[in-house]
Amino acid sequence: MTPPRNSNAVRDIASVLHPYTDGRAHQKNGPLVITRGEGVRVFDEQGNSYIETVAGLWCASLGFSNERLVEAATRQMRQLPFYHGFTGRSHEPQIELAEMLLERAPAPMSKVFFANSGSEANDSAIKMIWYFNNATGRPQKKKIIARIKGYHGVTLAAASLTGLPANHKLFDLPIAGIHHVSTPHHYHGANEGESEEDFATCLADELEEVILREGPDTVAAFFAEPIMGAGGVIVPPATYFEKVQEVLRRHDVLFVADEVICGFGRTGEYWGSQAFGIQPDILTCAKALSSSFLPISAVMVNERVFEGLADGSESVGTFGHGFTYSGHPVPAAVAVETLKIYDEMNLVAHVQSVAPALQDGLRQRFGDHPLVGEVRGRGLIAAVELVEDKAARRNFDPARKIAPRLSKIAESHGLIMRFLPGDGIAFSPPLIITEAEIHDMLDRFGRALDELQVQLRRESLAAV
Is there a single domain that holds both residue 341 and residue 397?
no
Is there a single domain that holds both residue 324 and residue 225?
yes
247/30 Cα distance (integer angstroms): 49
Q: Determine phi and psi for 453, rounding to 5 degrees.
A: -60, -40
Q: Give residues with Cβ within 8 angstroms of 158, minimum separation 6.
A: 118, 119, 120, 122, 123, 126, 152
Average pLDDT over residues 109-133: 98
pLDDT tens per residue across span 140-164: 999 999 999 999 999 999 999 999 9
Whether the pLDDT of residue 212 is over 50: the answer is yes
What are the b/e assignments for 321-339, b being 16+ CB within 10 Å? Answer: ebbebbbbbbbbbbbbbbb
Local confidence band at 431 (pLDDT 50, 70, 90 cut-offs): very high
Q: Determine phi and psi for 180, rounding to 5 degrees.
A: -125, 140
Is there a single domain that holds both residue 317 and residue 377?
no
Q: Which of 319, 345, 371 is the last residue of a domain?
A: 345
Domain that holds residue 239: 68-345
pLDDT, position 2: 55
**Average pLDDT in the chain:** 97
* Position 96 in a domain: yes
Cβ atoms of 40 and 52 closer than 8 Å: yes
How much of the chain exceeds pLDDT 90, in percent?
Answer: 97
Bridge partner list, 297: 115
Q: Which of 345, 373, 394 is the last residue of a domain?
A: 345
pLDDT, position 4: 60
Output the CA–CA distances (angstroms, integers) from residue 67 to 38, 63, 337, 454, in the order listed: 11, 11, 11, 43
pLDDT, position 1: 47
Local confidence band at 432 (pLDDT 50, 70, 90 cut-offs): very high
Bridge partner list, 145: 179, 222
pLDDT, position 460: 84
Burial (CB count <10 Å: 0-12, 13-18, 19+), residue 85? buried
How far is residue 191 CA from its own chain's centroid? 28
CATH number of the domain enclosing 452: 3.90.1150.10
* Position 137 in a domain: yes
Whether the pLDDT of residue 363 is over 70: the answer is yes
Nearest to 351 by CA among 379, 378, 382: 379
Local confidence band at 195 (pLDDT 50, 70, 90 cut-offs): very high
Q: Which of 315, 345, 375 is the last residue of a domain?
A: 345
* Position 15 in a domain: no
Is there a single domain that holds both residue 120 and residue 48?
no
Average pLDDT over residues 113-133: 98
Cβ atoms of 196 and 276 closer than 8 Å: no
Cβ atoms of 375 and 383 closer than 8 Å: yes
Q: What is the count of structural domains for the chain?
A: 2
Nearest to 204 by CA among 232, 236, 167, 163: 236
Cβ atoms of 271 and 298 closer than 8 Å: no
H or E, element range at 240: helix 240-250
Strand order in the sheet with 219-224: 111-115, 297-301, 282-285, 254-258, 219-224, 143-147, 178-181
Average pLDDT over residues 15-28: 96
Average pLDDT over residues 214-236: 98
- pTM attached to this predicted model: 0.96
Is there a single domain that holds both residue 417 and residue 442?
yes
Mode of pairing for the β-strands spanning 219-224 and 254-258: parallel
pLDDT, position 440: 98
Is there a single domain that holds both residue 451 and residue 400?
yes
Is there a single domain that holds both residue 332 and residue 373?
no
Q: Give residues with Cβ within 8 angstroms of 346, minimum separation 6.
A: none
Whether the pLDDT of residue 61 is over 70: the answer is yes
Local confidence band at 87 (pLDDT 50, 70, 90 cut-offs): very high
DSSP 8-state class, residue 322: -
Is there a single domain that holds both residue 290 and residue 389?
no
pLDDT, position 83: 98
Q: Which of 6-10, 34-38, 301-305 has the lowest mean pLDDT?
A: 6-10
* Position 188 in a domain: yes
Whether the pLDDT of residue 462 is over 90: the answer is no
Nearest to 184 by CA among 195, 198, 200: 200
**Residue count (the chain):** 464
Is there a single domain that holds both residue 202 and residue 122?
yes
Whether the pLDDT of residue 449 is over 60: the answer is yes
CATH number of the domain enclosing 152: 3.40.640.10
Is there a single domain that holds both residue 81 and residue 44?
no
Cβ atoms of 256 and 221 closer than 8 Å: yes
Single-letter amino acid code for the residue at 380: L
Average pLDDT over residues 28-54: 97
pLDDT, position 169: 97
Q: How far apart are the first and last CA of the chain?
A: 34
Whether the pLDDT of residue 328 is over 90: the answer is yes
Whether the pLDDT of residue 3 is over 60: the answer is no
215/218 Cα distance (integer angstroms): 5
* Position 43 in a domain: yes
Q: Determine phi and psi for 413, rounding to 5 degrees.
A: -105, 15
Nearest to 297 by CA among 165, 439, 151, 113: 113
